[in-house]
Amino acid sequence: MAEMIDAGKIDDLAPGKIHKVQHGDLVIALVNIGGEFYAVDGVCGHAGGPLCRGEVIEDEKVITCPWHGWEYDLSSGECLMDPSLSQKTYAVHVDGGAVTITVE
Ligand code: FES
């Protein structure tokens, strides 16, 4: 069943940074690129690295894992090194100043 979780206020989610959103055991890496928000599973599919502590390549809309440098497309979640390890993506909604993520 889908659930909308609070991800914070848009003014607190600076562009180009990775914001960690925790919901129970679920960790989500939330990224603001020029006002567009992207949310992917925060646990790297390669070996469980913390994507929330990685880096963002804004102009390519890519997030990089800090452990071994694997890159994921923020829109699709696709791993650029191995598409079979794609990250789950989540829908992000902005309503006024509030940002929410839909999880299932
Ligand atoms: S754990 Fe993320 S690249 Fe290896």
Positive or negative, the CA dihedral 76, 80, 83, 85 is: negative
- Cβ atoms within 10 Å of 66's Cβ, excluding its own: 15
**Distance between the two ends of the chain, CA-based, in angstroms?**
5
Ligand 1 site residues, Cβ closer than 6 angstroms: 44, 46-49, 65, 67-68, 70
pTM summary value:
0.95
pLDDT at residue number 84? 87
**Fold of the CATH domain 3-103:** Rieske Iron-sulfur Protein (2.102.10)
The ranges assigned to domains in the chain are 3-103
User: Please, what is the average pLDDT of the chain?
Assistant: 96
List pLDDT tens digits, range 36-84.
999 999 999 999 999 999 999 999 999 999 999 999 999 999 999 998 8
- For residues 33 and 45, is the Cβ–Cβ distance under 8 A? no
pLDDT at residue number 87? 96
Angle at 11 between CA 6 and CA 12, to 5 degrees: 65
| Residue 47 CA, closest ligand 1 atom number | 1
Q: Is residue 85 predicted with pLDDT exceeding 90?
A: no
